Structure 1
Amino acid sequence: MHREIETDIAIIGGGVGGYAAALSACRMGRQVILTEETDWIGGQLTSQAVPPDEHRWIEQFGCTRSYREFRQGVRAYYKRHFPVTAQAQAAYYLNPGNGGVSRLCAEPRAMLEVLQAMIAPFIHSGRLTLLLRSRPVSAETDGDTVRSVTVQEAYGRRLTIRAPYFLDATECGDLLPLAGVEYVTGAESRADTNEPHALEGPADPHDIQAFTWCLAMDYLEGENHVIDKPKDYSFWRKYRADFWPDQQLSWVSPNPVTLEPNEETLFWGTDKYPLFIYRRIIDRANFLQGTYPGDISIINWAQNDYWLGRIYDVPPHEAQRHLEGARQLSLSLLYWLQTEAPRPDGKAGYPGLRLRPDVTGTADGLAQAPYIRESRRIRAQFTVLEQHVSAAVRGDQGAVPFADSVGIGCYRIDLHPSTAGRNYLDISSLPFQIPLGSLLPVRVRNLLPACKNIGTTHITNGCYRLHPVEWNIGEAAGALAAFCLDQAAEPHQVRSDAAKLEAFQTLLTSYGVELAWPKIGAV
């Protein structure tokens, strides 16, 4: 069965950026179709089970108003529906999990509830059509214009979507090759970008950051929840990369900044950092006794980063092999934790660790989709380079200001180990702006990137890839498409015409998108 449908704006991919784009375009009165491959909208926040990585000023400034509304909505969700303690109820900036990675660690399903509530008025009114379990399979183009995108829905049905504007918000930039949009993958050469940390030799399009298949678990002391031995456990139990200080299934990993060996543990009780606390999404101390049997945490550590191969721009069987490899790595890490991990008390293993499939909305407790750090990236009118945002390069000057700013972000340049066997790169950056030019393909006129697929490099992807930045990118892209429809203009004209650019930036500001930072230091 093959159907066709028309809309104002088609957003392919319902992750953080795609969701924010849909929210933005709907608020501006446009008809929107939003597709998503998994069962849940929200990407990193939900289907990938990644608590948000954010800068330290996130509660005061440095994100869009709608992103802050979402964050406060998550806190209100717990306070309204759960038996929280009096102390938790009184905490204005409640952190349900009290995790170390973020000021807002919470269950993916709770975040999903809030995301769904925020778009409910548009779904109920018919302005937003949400198509879950749908992935793009082809696109029709006419010169520099995308005419339609066809997605495969559940049960093998196909739907062709026709629209004046298409936004690629897929996790790997999957719409770019389908629509013939010029793009880049992997690591650039220093000869091409002059970036201090770019490759000294030729560019390597296959040098892509590790991805991770996260899982949710809790811990019940005295109980036995050991899973069946994963089929690839023998391989992962022995595996050690040349650039790693120990076997991957161990407590030893490189310090991301110094690359010196760093020893960790699971719980408090020693001077080593407890990994269970790092991405803990439920701290039962925030709730009345008996609400949760134990704390809940997400495994998204160095130990389950997968760098043995790529999952895009490779044959389907190869992509599937690496996806399954990442799942096996995460299950093997859990099995090692349950059965062999050295404990401070001299024992081995924590059999009370229990997978929580209800938390992730899956049958096995692993996330619905892998956490992708690095996507295909458009060849853009303007590409953000390391020297635009690096603290070492810019010093006290601050990041390079962009007159065409459509938002702001802040995070360290954080690159995980790569498929080329390169270790972490974690260096200081400065609070930065998101230039409109990085959202504009060099040729195609009506397709916009809406997540991690903008005009950055392998290096600057490391600070432009996090949750609040992706939300801002998506919100700006959705607003830009709606603005262009209202003004009968093209996105490239908005950047090149001073009056149109000013009008668009004024519009963004009215919706609570911050375009510039106050003067603050490096991160």
Structure 2
Amino acid sequence: MTHEPTELDTPILIVGGGLGGMAAALAAARHGVSVVITEHTGWLGGALTTQMVPLDEHRRIERIGANGSYRRLREELREHYRRFYPLTDRARRDPLLNPGAGWVSPLCVEPLAAVSVLESMIAPYRASGLIRTLMHCRPTRVETTGDRIDAVEFARADGSPVVVRAEIVLDATETGDLLELGGIDHVTGKESQAQTGEPHAAAIANPDDMQSGTWCFAIEHLDGEDHTIDRPEQYDRWRDARPPAWSGAKILDWTGPGEDTGLARPYRMDVNPDDDPAAINVDHRFMPDGPELWTYRRIAARRQFREGFYRSDITVVNWPMNDYTDGPLLGPSAAQHRHGARQLSLSLLYWLQTEAPRPDGGTGYPGMRILPHVSGTADGLAMEPYIREGRRILALETVREQDVSVEIRGDRAARRYDSSVGVGHYYWLDRHATTGGGIPVNGRPQPFEIPFGALVPRRVRNLLAAGKNIGTTHITNGCYRLHPVEWAIGEAAGHAAAFSVVNATEPHAIHADADKLAEVQARLVRDEVELHWPEDARW
């Protein structure tokens, strides 16, 4: 019988197996530096898999504005479907195959397909020993000496501990777990205008007022069948709830918070439409006034596959109706609010099955079926809630609203950084209703850059942020938190960590030394990372 070690040593420790962590691990391993990557669930992929959130991307993603490794991820996802799924001939020939034909992104896929592809991408490095994964390991303690992290202790699924010592540590967790455990200077929630100088920042800071999280789930609809779940314990509460951002409307209704106006916005749902998958418009600049929810995050469009392979489309329910605003999903009250978020999502499902108004004048869709085989869980809810905003480091450089906002910068490009280690974009500074009752105010960002200093904490010398925990604000987090940006952040962190190990240096020294930073940037460019947008790129 073999026994897992209780202590490990590694040049680089990456805590969190989401997209940022995966990109970091691949970057370090490509340059011959060993990493240990930990994940507290059983799946790699984070937001794309355990949280069941299809890729959120910008309108230029097929041409520019993404790392080469992210493009390979996308093409591997498409090839996975071509190789293993019974696609129609038309879908198979489509170079821009979108298996779900969802309109949130040009590429909507099932979580298990993404897990398979991510596992295959790291398989060679696992075989060589350059990447070691520790699954079902949750960080519980951070050992420090002065301004350095010595080790991180984890609890395995059975409760037994394992300690990992490393030269460089990357926090790629969804909520910035190491920042709290290690006493690393960070911020949560809304900053004040006095703190950031942002025109749309709050008058008074509120660390508990952050973007709502959402507990996603996948559904299909089987007409003539009854898959109604048991009435959730909190159903009465959520059926009657009228959160502040809904302007008096009920949360379980075909409405949601409007952008900027504070007025409720209508939504609609067209179940299993006879639509043409190739006709889906993914350009959010042309989003209709009454957005259609069924196709928005659809991850399997039955008409993309051989007739009869799917009895129904499969769509992910990540809608305004299950945005949880009662409190943050991290911190001292996390357990209470995680339970509440799960109850809200189950209540939404039950409402859809029993009380939702239908276009034909009836109520309820009893044929709605939640899909545990898609989520990988017993109850069909995602393994983890979708976390839009967690802890953020107090960084050497902080990206503020005035650095990216179209409304502030006009036709000028976003701020250009000499220290850029990647680029990103999205349609909006995408802010949902908040846990403090805030109404979304969705500004627009110009195509932006990722400054290296945003990955480096002010004090701790051997830590890098490798996900949505970089130096952004409550406002700019709304566009720097999306899938391709998280990947770019992680890849930059992996490069910087590998450079630090090989050259016996540290992230602060890279940031302070123009020659060192230029070498890291040159390595990024050789690995097909875009550091700047074309001069004429605008929203």
Are 1:421 and 2:437 counterparts?
yes
Q: Which residue of 2 aligns with 1:277?
A: 295
Q: Using the TM superposition, give the Cα deviation of residue 2 of structure 1 relative to its aligned residue in structure 2, in angstroms.
A: 7.4
Are 1:215 and 2:217 counterparts?
yes
Task: Map 1:128-167; keep pairs closer than 5 Å.
Answer: 128-167=131-170
Q: Which residue of 1 aligns with 2:524?
A: 508
Q: Which residue of 1 aligns with 2:417?
A: 402
Query: Measured at CA, do residues 432 and 272 of structure 1 come closer, stay the same or move farther in structure 2, by a change above 3 Å?
Result: closer
Paired letter, 1:466? L
Paired letter, 1:333? L
Secondary structure (helix, strand or coil) at the match of 1:364 reads: coil
Secondary structure (helix, strand or coil) at the match of 2:59 reads: coil
Distance in 1 of aligned mates of 2:202 and 2:291: 33
Are 1:59 and 2:62 counterparts?
yes
Are 1:296 and 2:296 counterparts?
no
Distance in 1 of aligned mates of 2:415 and 2:114: 34
Task: Map 1:353-372; keep pairs closer than 5 Å.
Answer: 353-372=368-387
Distance in 1 of aligned mates of 2:506 and 2:5: 31
Paired letter, 1:237? R
Query: Measured at CA, do residues 425 and 522 of structure 1 come closer, stay the same or move farther in structure 2, by a change above 3 Å?
Result: farther
Q: Which residue of 1 aligns with 2:278?
A: none
Q: Which residue of 2 aligns with 1:224?
A: 226
Match of 2:509 among 485, 488, 493: 493
Paired letter, 1:223? E
Q: Using the TM superposition, give the Cα deviation of residue 261 of structure 1 relative to its aligned residue in structure 2, in angstroms.
A: 2.5
For residues 274-322 of structure 1, give each alpha carbon's deviation from its aligned partner in whole angstroms, at most 9, with x where no partner exists: 21111000001000111111100000000000010123231xxx31111
Q: Which residue of 1 aligns with 2:343?
A: 328
Aligned partners of 1:2 and 1:158 also within 8 Å:
no
Are 1:176 and 2:192 counterparts?
no
Task: Map 1:312-323; keep pairs closer than 5 Å.
Answer: 312-314=330-332, 318-323=333-338
Distance in 2 of aligned mates of 1:257 and 1:278: 21
Secondary structure (helix, strand or coil) at the match of 1:7 reads: strand
Distance in 1 of aligned mates of 2:437 and 2:538: 28
Q: Which residue of 2 aligns with 1:7?
A: 10
Q: Using the TM superposition, give the Cα deviation of residue 517 of structure 1 relative to its aligned residue in structure 2, in angstroms.
A: 0.4
Q: Using the TM superposition, give the Cα deviation of residue 259 of structure 1 relative to its aligned residue in structure 2, in angstroms.
A: 3.6
Secondary structure (helix, strand or coil) at the match of 1:277 reads: coil
Distance in 1 of aligned mates of 2:364 and 2:327: 30
Paired letter, 1:489? T
Distance in 1 of aligned mates of 2:353 and 2:538: 40
Paired letter, 2:198? E
Match of 1:190 among 187, 193, 197: 193
Paired letter, 1:492? H
Match of 1:261 among 261, 264, 267: 264
For residues 111-148 of structure 1, give each alpha carbon's deviation from its aligned partner in whole angstroms, at most 9, with x where no partner exists: 11100100000112221111111110001101011000
Aligned partners of 1:428 and 1:522 also within 8 Å:
no
Q: Using the TM superposition, give the Cα deviation of residue 23 of structure 1 relative to its aligned residue in structure 2, in angstroms.
A: 1.1
Distance in 1 of aligned mates of 2:242 and 2:14: 41
Worse overlay, 284-293 or 270-279 = 270-279
Distance in 1 of aligned mates of 2:291 and 2:518: 48
Secondary structure (helix, strand or coil) at the match of 1:105 reads: coil
Aligned partners of 1:94 and 1:104 also within 8 Å:
yes
Aligned partners of 1:2 and 1:157 also within 8 Å:
no
Q: How many pairs does the alignment contain?
A: 519
Q: Using the TM superposition, give the Cα deviation of residue 487 of structure 1 relative to its aligned residue in structure 2, in angstroms.
A: 1.7
Match of 1:72 among 69, 75, 81: 75
Q: Which residue of 1 aligns with 2:107?
A: 104
Query: Measured at CA, do residues 441 and 372 of structure 1 come closer, stay the same or move farther in structure 2, by a change above 3 Å?
Result: same
Paired letter, 2:387? I
Aligned partners of 1:139 and 1:149 also within 8 Å:
yes
Aligned partners of 2:257 and 2:433 also within 8 Å:
no
Are 1:252 and 2:255 counterparts?
yes
Q: CA RMSD in A?
A: 1.4
Distance in 2 of aligned mates of 1:242 and 1:29: 52
Aligned partners of 1:406 and 1:435 also within 8 Å:
yes
Q: Using the TM superposition, give the Cα deviation of residue 258 of structure 1 relative to its aligned residue in structure 2, in angstroms.
A: 3.8
Query: Measured at CA, do residues 2 and 118 of structure 1 come closer, stay the same or move farther in structure 2, by a change above 3 Å?
Result: closer
Worse overlay, 253-262 or 353-362 = 253-262
What is the percentage of aligned positions where both structures have the same residue? 51
Match of 1:385 among 400, 405, 415: 400
Paired letter, 2:191? E
Secondary structure (helix, strand or coil) at the match of 2:267 reads: strand
Aligned partners of 1:341 and 1:349 also within 8 Å:
yes
Q: Which residue of 2 aligns with 1:349?
A: 364
Paired letter, 1:350? Y
Segments of structure 2 that go 5 or more residues without pairing to the other structure are 274-287
Aligned partners of 2:243 and 2:325 also within 8 Å:
no
Q: Using the TM superposition, give the Cα deviation of residue 70 of structure 1 relative to its aligned residue in structure 2, in angstroms.
A: 0.6
Q: Using the TM superposition, give the Cα deviation of residue 334 of structure 1 relative to its aligned residue in structure 2, in angstroms.
A: 0.6
Distance in 2 of aligned mates of 1:280 and 1:109: 15
Q: Which residue of 2 aligns with 1:83?
A: 86
TM-score under structure 1 length normalisation: 0.97
Secondary structure (helix, strand or coil) at the match of 2:423 reads: strand
Aligned partners of 1:431 and 1:520 also within 8 Å:
no
Are 1:466 and 2:482 counterparts?
yes
Paired letter, 2:206? D
Task: Map 1:408-487; keep pairs closer than 5 Å.
Answer: 408-411=423-426, 412-487=428-503
Distance in 1 of aligned mates of 2:379 and 2:123: 29
Secondary structure (helix, strand or coil) at the match of 1:207 reads: coil
Secondary structure (helix, strand or coil) at the match of 2:246 reads: coil
For residues 317-350 of structure 1, give each alpha carbon's deviation from its aligned partner in whole angstroms, at most 9, with x where no partner exists: x311110100000010010001100001011011
Paired letter, 1:508? L
Q: Using the TM superposition, give the Cα deviation of residue 506 of structure 1 relative to its aligned residue in structure 2, in angstroms.
A: 0.3
